[in-house]
Amino acid sequence: MDKPYDTTEREEGQRVLESYANPILKDARACPFCSGKTLALTDWADIMLVGKPTWRVYCASCGTLGPMSNTKQSAVNYWNQKFDARLLMNLESG
């Protein structure tokens, strides 16, 4: 008989699933590096850096992390700006 998951493993699994299903991600563009569309919002407890939890968009396809932000929505906005900057660099070099 398999050992049942303990509560912390279940909670962590649920948290990961929710990070990929966050409705705010509907506004996020595909990854600027690999064009991946499997994105998640991750919370980072960067207490040493900013003194409070922060949010980032994460691309599951290539591992790219977007800029840190204090809110989920601004993390998506920053991710989209990163996309715009990458596109602009490609247009200027090509």
Output the six-digit token pair for 86: 């990458």
Show the domain range for 26: 7-93
Residue 2 lies in a domain: no
State which amino acid sits at residue 27: D
Question: Which residue's structure tokens are 């990929």?
Answer: 20
Residue 32 lies in a domain: yes
Residue 37 lies in a domain: yes
What was the pLDDT predicted at 94?
Answer: 46
Residue 1 lies in a domain: no
The predicted-structure confidence for 54-78, as pLDDT tens digits, reads as follows 888 989 888 888 888 888 999 999 9
What was the pLDDT predicted at 87?
Answer: 52
Question: Number of C-alpha atoms within 13 angstroms, CB side, residue 24?
Answer: 18
The predicted-structure confidence for 20-57, as pLDDT tens digits, reads as follows 788 889 989 998 888 899 899 888 765 556 667 788 89
What was the pLDDT predicted at 18?
Answer: 76
76-89 in b/e form (b: 16+ CB < 10 A) is bbbbbebbeeeeee
Domain count, the chain: 1
Residue 85 reports pLDDT greater than 90: no
